[in-house]
Structure 1
Amino acid sequence: MFIGQQAKLTKTMKGRTMSISRFGPVFLVVFLGGCTVFAPRYDAVLDEKSTAAYQSIAGIAASIELGEFVAAESYADAAPRYRDAISGLSVASLRAEILPVREGTPAERARRLLSEMVTECDQAVKRTAEAHRQRGIPANAGAGQSLLLVCDPAYRAVQAMR
C-alpha cells in the first residue's frame, strides 16, 4: 500500500465482502491459544533438570565408549554421575506428569508421551548403572550409544517446548 492510503484487506466469498481485519484478533487468539492445545506449556524446571540429566548421560556414554567402565570396580567412582542423571530424570519425570493441560486435547497426549520418554530414559540409565555395578561395561560394544538413543527423544521433546 502507498503512504496515505488506508489499508484494508478484503476477501470476496459468494458475493459477500468480508473484512479480514475483522477476524485478525480472533485468529491471533486462536493461534496463540492453540499452542497449549497441541503441546504443554514450557516449564523451565523441566528444561533445566532434563538438560542437566542429559549432560550427565552424555558423559556416562562417552566414558563407556572410552572404556572407562570395563571393570566393575570403576562403578564406585561413576556412582555420583549415575545418581546425578537419575535424580535429574526423576524430577523431570515428575514435572512432565504435572504439566497443566486440558483433558482430552493433543497436549494431554503429548504430556503423557513426554513423561513416558523421560521414564524410559530413567530406566535405561538405571539398567546401565546396574550392569556397570555387577560386571562392568565393555568398551565399543554400543552400550553408550544405546543409552543415548533411548534418552535423546526425551531431551529433544523438552527442548522443542522452548
Structure 2
Amino acid sequence: MDSRTQVQYAVPRRGIPAPVSLSRWVDLARQGAPGSVVIRVVDEHESAQLNGAYRGKRGPTNVLSFPFEAPEGIPVDHLGDLVICAPVVAREAREQGKASRSHWAHMVIHGVLHLRGYDHLDEADAHEMETIETLLMAECGYDDPYSLPDNPSETTPS
C-alpha cells in the first residue's frame, strides 16, 4: 500500500476491499495532486454523527470528504480525509445491482475528487465531476457508475 494512503477501520474488514485496492483508487483519482489521504471506514452510527455535525443532514451517507487546509506558513503534505460508511456502500451496491468492488472504487474516486475541489452543486459542475468519475472508473475496468447494470457481475479489475 502507498504510504500516502492510510486506512483506519472502525468496523470489521469483511467485505471491504483491501488497503492496496483503496490506495490504488486514491492514487488514480489524485491524478498527480500532492498529499496524503486518510480513509476511515465506519458504521452507520459514526457516519450519521459526522453527517449531522458537518453537513447538517440526518442519517448516514456513503462517503464524506474533509479537505485539509494547513495553517498559513505551515507546510503539510495532506490532501484530506475520507469517511466511508461500509453498510451504506454495501446496501447501495445491492439496491443498484452493482458489483461491490465497483461501488467501493466509485466512492473512493468520488471522495478524492471532492478533496481536490470538485463538486456537484450545480448541473455544470455535476456533469464535469461525473465525466471524470466515469473516465477513471473505466481506467479501473468498471462500468459507468451512473448507469444501472442490466446484469451485474463481480469482476476483478484493479
Task: Judge same fold: TM > 0.5, yes or no.
Answer: no
Q: Per chain length, whose mean CA-contact separation is higher, i.e. which structure has more relative contact order (CA < 8 Å, sep 6+)?
A: 1
Structure showing the higher helix proportion among its residues: 1
TM-score (norm 2): 0.24
The structure that is strand-richer by fraction is: 2
TM-score, with structure 1 as normaliser: 0.24
Rg larger in 1 or in 2? 1
